[in-house]
Amino acid sequence: MRGQLWAIVALLVIIAVLLGAQFFHASTERWSYAVIAPKDEELMETLNRLGSLGWEIVSSRRATSKDGGDVKGIYEMILKRHASSLEQSPAAAK
C-alpha cells in the first residue's frame, strides 16, 4: 500500500511539473508581425516562399492597387511567426 501511495505522489508531481512548464512556455511566447500586399500573379509564389520561412497568415482581404494607370488585384495580409525565428522579414525575402 505504501508503494502505491508513493507512485501516486510521484505521478502527481510529474503532472504538476509538466503543466507548469506548459504554462510558462505559453506566457513567454512572442510573435513578429508583418503586413504584405502581393499582386495576384505573385500570390502563390510569395505565400510558399514566406511559409518556408515560418510566416503564417493571420488575416487577409481582397484589395486593389493602382499601378500607374492600371488597377491591379492584390491581397493585403497580416503575417505572424515566432519572434525567436532568425529568418529574414517578408520584405527582405523578395
Across the range 6-23, mean pLDDT stands at 80
> What CATH number is given to the structural domain containing 51?
3.30.70.2000
For residue 89, tell me if it sits in a domain.
Answer: no
Task: Tell me the pLDDT tens digit for each residue of 35-87.
Answer: 999 888 888 999 999 999 999 999 999 888 887 888 888 889 999 999 876 55
Phi-psi region of 54 (alpha: psi -120 to 50; beta: other; left: phi over 0): left
Domain of 61?
2-82
Cell numbers at 80, concatenated = 505572424
Q: Which residues, other chains included, contact 80 with Cβ-Cβ below 8 Å and sequence gap of 6+?
A: 31, 32, 33, 34, 55, 56, 58
Q: Report how many domains make up the chain.
A: 1
Q: What is the DSSP letter of 19?
A: H
* Residue 81, number of CB atoms within 10 A of its CB: 19
